[in-house]
Amino acid sequence: MKNLFTCIVCFLLLTGCSSDKKDNHVTSIDVSREYLMKEIDLREIADVSYVRFEYSDESLFNGFVACITDQTIVIYGYRTQDYFFFTFDGKLKSKFNRHGNGPEEYITATSAAYDEEKDEFFVLDASKRKLFVYSSAGEYKRGFALPSDASLGVLFDCDENSLLLYDGAKSNFKIRNIQAEATGSEKMEYIGNSFEHPFCRISKQDGHVLEYILVPENFDIPLGVIDSSIGIVPARKNNIINYRDGFLLYHQETDTMFYYQKDQPLKPVFVRTPPMSDRQQTYLNTLFEGGDYEFIQTITMQLPFKYNQLVRDKRDGNIYQQKIIFDEFQDEITFTPGVITTTRNAQIGALQYDVATLKDALEEGKLSGRLKEIVQDMDEEENDLLFLLRFKE
């Protein structure tokens, strides 16, 4: 099977490089180099607006962005298990809580996606291995089971009929066996009930698999660090991220990142160098576009994990260490794949800041313009402020 996947990669790389350069060019990213710093003005790459969420007993949250559609921002309150649906003006549209152990309730809401046209809100419960479907008002519509041993983290709204998932069960099992080998324990053969392949597209209606996306894989390289007291500590992986009109799909244990569009051939678009091996402990953690730039994150597998934020200028192909500057917020702004992982549209991103951080920045004289005016007017107990980014072409 590995030989088959190797042949697929070689074929795709050859066809990608020999076809139209604009659509099929494969970019190489060297993760072993040190790069010069490049300042990038946030306004150069995105139009920035602020979302000040409604502040009342009904709309007060302590949480983070669950997903963003073209018209709605959904916040997940992790302490109360509430979901809040806000407009881009920060007005509360609806709120619900279906947390519990009942047949129509979630225990651990791991990820969510919102189909705004159908008013269907999908909640992935990793502990129950189920998907629950509600309206934005919390009305239960349906639910369906997923494989009992699947390891599911994030959920992506692919199109009107399907969702995109990544199942990390086989990768996690390999890590457990490598840990067993390191400690002298007995290794086991994987016989779990998971998805047949890690990347899959499933039906929104009943969860059946519509497509397995065969991206070359190699789980023999563990993406984690062995700690003597707690075993293997896994590093974060962004296996799927919105990209242009589709998604980037990536096994970080391999070298090639692929661009996926439904009903289109899979395209290799980014290649990590030097080749991944046990001796090379730095890997790509996907990337995203903004204006003339591609923002890249790398992770070095050591404790504590070293996260490096790079940027590639598409105009000359050069890679730099990123430094984002913004005249209204003169503090460190870091662009990681997390900026767009919750959005339905790859041209929209978000940065979330709590009031205490913004008030401290205000006292230190780091705020100006419209942002300064907003923060001066904010109550200490108010909801977080969202920087909404609309990336330029």
What domains appear along the chain, each with residue ranges and CATH number? Answer: 63-214 (2.120.10.30)
136-165: pLDDT as tens digits:
999 999 999 999 999 998 899 999 999 999
* Backbone φ and ψ of 315, nearest 5°: -75, -35
Cα-to-chain-centroid distance, residue 156? 9
pTM, rounded to two decimals: 0.89
CA angle 76, 77, 83 (to 5 degrees): 50
The tokens for 107 are 């225990």
The DSSP symbol for 367 reads B
pLDDT at 13: 43
pLDDT beyond 50 at 11: no
Lookup result for tokens 């995105």: 46
The tokens for 90 are 């920060």
pLDDT beyond 70 at 181: no
Q: How far apart are CA 368 and CA 365, in angstroms?
A: 8
For the ranges 51-60, 72-81, 134-143, 173-182, the lowest mean pLDDT is seen at 173-182
pLDDT at 9: 43
Element (H, E) at 46: strand 46-52
pLDDT beyond 50 at 316: yes
pLDDT at 21: 38
pLDDT at 381: 93
pLDDT beyond 50 at 283: yes
83-124: pLDDT as tens digits:
999 999 999 999 999 999 999 999 999 999 999 999 999 999
| pLDDT-above-90 percentage for the chain | 73
Q: Where are the beta strands (DSSP E) in 175-222?
A: 199-203, 209-212
pLDDT at 24: 59
Q: Considering only CA atoms, which of 314, 299, 328, 202 is closest in space to residue 269?
A: 314
188-246: pLDDT as tens digits:
666 679 999 999 999 999 999 999 999 998 887 777 777 767 677 777 889 999 999 99
Q: Comparing 14 with 290, which gets the higher pLDDT?
A: 290
> Is the bond leading into 268 cis (omega within 30 degrees of zero)?
no
Q: What is the dihedral of CA 336, 339, 341, 346, to 10 degrees?
A: -110
pLDDT at 342: 86
The tokens for 361 are 């920045």
Q: Give rounded-to-5 percent helix, strand, coil for the chain.
A: 15, 40, 45
